[in-house]
Amino acid sequence: MKEIILIKDGELALKGLNRNTFEDILIKNMRTRISPLGDFSFRKSQSTITVEPHSENIDLDEAVARIGKVFGIVGISRAAVCEKEIGKIRETAWNYLQDELLFAKTFKVTAKRSDKNFPYKSPEICDEVGGYILSQNHRLKVDVHNPDVVVTVEVRDNAAYIHGSQLPGAGGMPSGTGGRACLLISGGIDSPVAGYMIAKRGVKLTAVHFASPPYTSELAEMKVHELLERVSAYAGRVNLFTVHFTELQEAIRDHCPEEMFTVTMRRVMMKVASKIALWQACDALVTGESLGQVASQTIHALKCTDVCAGLPVFRPCIGMDKNEIIEISRKIDAFDISIRPYEDCCTVFTPRHPRTRPTPAYAAEVEAMLPDEDAMIQRAVDSAKLMIIEAYPEK
Ligand code: ATP
Ligand code: MG
């Protein structure tokens, strides 16, 4: 049986005249994700995009799974394509949705007839198809208000499409409609979630990771690659820059008061990341900070780090509890990777008693204790190694 995928786009409907541009970007993003699986054609009509595989050997389960992670989509339906003849439509509806209908107690049929030459009107299509399904499974009942299964028949110009319940899409805005931001990614739980949340608003991601070998291991870096791959399944291609941070971290350890280690490190990270972000044409920085989660994330500490950023800093987790962040982390399959126990540079020289109410003036005074800070920052920027992370590489 020939199948296609029907896509309902989401907030795009709000975009008025820009809608076409947004839909074109959405189609381009879907094409990038599924074209490694085979050839597909994409067609727009009303608020639906039809995705048609060119051969029956294509793995449609995988195509649907990948499309389920493309932002800008509210609903996805897999549909059977059928000749526009009422007998064929009745039989196809039953054959195609049998598995769903056998386990259901109630169902209803909805019909849309955009081909006005089709001799049956929508209510008549519903009666025909509904009656046939009831004749095949006597235990089923029709429930128009709260059915277990909705059977939809769409009679279009070229064919009839039949589908069951719609799967939820990833929501948000298509990647590439909201500019580019630079994610500071550690190997923890919060920053991958922050990246996912900003990407959901249509923003492309560049990422910066600070590694401090030999204090941090290669396994910690691999963890970051894997985490970004999970984010990339939603966000598309991510450019990751890994920065050699050891020199700066040792300088902070050797020259600054211990209670200010974390804040100073965070300020320096902001400076290095801002330089890379500007060079990569990013318009904002993104971190996984959440207010009050740890001593370095008090409102006072964040004030001290913000003044060092050359760009706006987005912190999508700022008002979330840890369990709310974990819920998203699990949803994007990142959690099990995040909890692997490798040292991050933040945990290397953790102060025993961090200052929770630092002032920007005092933080600047402490930072000024670093000898030749500008040169060290430049060396860190120059050390950045690029790696392209892509969950579904193009053919
Ligand atoms: P996460 O779970 O994201 O590691 P966290 O609660 O452990 O967050 P911190 O370790 O204090 O918090 O880090 C706060 C934020 O600083 C992180 O969310 C991340 O954006 C950034 N950050 C921390 N360590 C690094 C690193 N090694 N490289 C890049 N960014 C980092
Ligand atoms: Mg961390």
For ligand 2, a single-atom ion, which residues have Cβ within 5 Å?
Answer: 186, 188, 344, 346
Nearest residue by C-alpha to atom 31 in ligand 1: 186
Complete DSSP assignment for 229-252: HHHHHHH--EEEEEEE-HHHHHHH
* pLDDT per position as a tens digit, 146-183: 999 999 999 998 899 999 988 999 999 999 999 999 99
What is the C-alpha to C-alpha distance for residues 79 and 99, in angstroms, rounded to an integer? Answer: 14
- Whether residue 55 is predicted with pLDDT greater than 70 in this model: the reply is yes
Question: What is the CATH classification number for the domain harbouring 285?
Answer: 3.40.50.620
Domain edge (last residue) among 119, 141, 170: 170
Domain-embedded: residue 242: yes
Of the listed ligands, the closest to the CA of 262 is: 1
In a domain, 79, yes or no: yes
Task: Specify the pLDDT at position 58.
Answer: 95
Summarize pLDDT for 66-113 with one digit per residue, the tens: 999 999 999 999 999 999 999 999 999 999 999 999 989 999 999 999
Residue ending a domain, among 170, 194, 223, is 170
pLDDT digits (tens, 9 = 90+) for 24-53: 999 999 999 999 999 999 998 877 899 999
Which of 121, 150, 170 is the last residue before a domain boundary? 170
Q: List the one residue out of 61, 49, 4, 3 whose CA is nearest residue 23.
A: 49
Q: What is the mean pLDDT of residues 355-381?
A: 96
Looking at all shown ligands, the one closest to residue 186's CA atom is 1
Of 136, 133, 129, the C-alpha closest to 111 is: 129
Q: Are residues 240 and 128 in the same domain?
A: no
Neighbours of 132 (CB within 10 A): 17
**Residue 69 domain boundaries:** 3-170
Q: What is the CATH number of the domain that holds 111?
A: 3.30.2130.30
Pocket test for ligand 1, best of 191, 218, 267, 349 (most atoms within 8 A of CB): 191
Domain count, the chain: 2
CB-defined site of ligand 1, < 6 Å: 184-186, 188-191, 208-210, 287-289, 293-294, 296, 344-346
Which amino acid residue places its CA nearest to atom 14 of ligand 1? 289
- Quickly list H helices, the chain: 19-34, 60-67, 86-103, 122-136, 190-200, 218-235, 246-255, 261-279, 299-306, 322-331, 335-338, 345-348, 360-367, 373-383
Query: Considering the chain, what is the average pLDDT of its residues?
Result: 94
Encoded tokens for 339: 């909890």
Mean pLDDT of 342-365: 84
- Nearest ligand to residue 320 Cα: 1
Q: For residues 289 and 302, what is the distance between their CA atoms, to the nearest angstrom? A: 9
Question: Is 395 within a domain?
Answer: no
- Say how far apart CA 40 and CA 287 lie, in whole Å: 37
**pTM of the predicted structure, to 2 decimals:** 0.93
Identify the residue whose C-alpha is closest to ligand 1 atom 11: 296
In a domain, 148, yes or no: yes
